[in-house]
Amino acid sequence: MKVYGIIGWKNAGKTSLIERLVAEITRRGYSVSTVKHVHHEVDLDQPGKDTWRHRAAGAREVVLASAQRLALLVEHRGPEPDLAAVLSRLAPVDLILVEGYKRDAHPKIEVFRHEAGHELIQPDDPMVRAVATNSSLPVLTVPTLDLNDTAEVANFILRETGLARE
């Protein structure tokens, strides 16, 4: 499985880009999974529901299964798992797009918008292989991609990961 990150500061457009990339890359016949890192407390379950009650009783993992999807809720009750631990739980696919985990050592594209009000991450991170932006930037040591050209960004990632079909 190939792993490629999409990083950037809040409101830069990371989620929108990943949404478009998943659609574009799966349309081309590749299988894609995503990982989204969050810094805040998150719970997909609802208090009082059966699965919530299972977890509250002490179950380490609870699976909610239906005809449409399967959700695995894991109570790790310890430090936040690192990216490698998260990736090890995923079923094999061609490509995993990771949103966040910006300090991890995997290849990444930085999403940058001047309007977000932050500095570029790329100059300090050698794992950033390109910057996708809708702004004009000074000359960088990595390629600059058009943030609004999903096909161009997808082509770059597929070439970088060795998945591109010539």
Give dist(CA 32, CA 146) in Å, integer. Answer: 22
CATH number (domain holding residue 128): 3.40.50.300
Residue 46 within a domain: no
Give dist(CA 8, CA 110) in Å, integer. Answer: 5
Residue 26 within a domain: yes
Residue 99 within a domain: yes
Residue 91 within a domain: yes
Nearest to 108 by CA among 118, 121, 119: 121
Judge whether residue 40 has pLDDT over 60: no
Q: Average pLDDT of 132-140?
A: 91
Question: Is the pTM of the predicted complex or chain greater than 0.85?
Answer: yes
Tens-digit pLDDT profile for residues 78-130: 788 889 999 999 999 999 999 989 889 999 999 999 888 889 999 999 999 99
Count of structural domains within the chain? 1
Residue 64 within a domain: no
Residue 23 within a domain: yes
Average pLDDT, the chain: 91
Please name the residue that has the structure tokens 């991170």. Answer: 125
Tens-digit pLDDT profile for residues 16-31: 999 999 999 999 999 9
Residue 60 within a domain: no
Residue 51 within a domain: no
Confidence grade of residue 51 (pLDDT, cut at 50, 70, 90)? confident
Q: Domain limits at 144?
A: 2-40+80-161
Q: Of 44-48, 56-60, 81-85, 156-160, which one has max mean pLDDT?
A: 156-160
- CB-based burial of residue 78 (10 Å sphere; 0-12 exposed, 13-18 middle, 19+ buried)? exposed
User: Is the pLDDT higher at 39 or at 107?
Assistant: 107
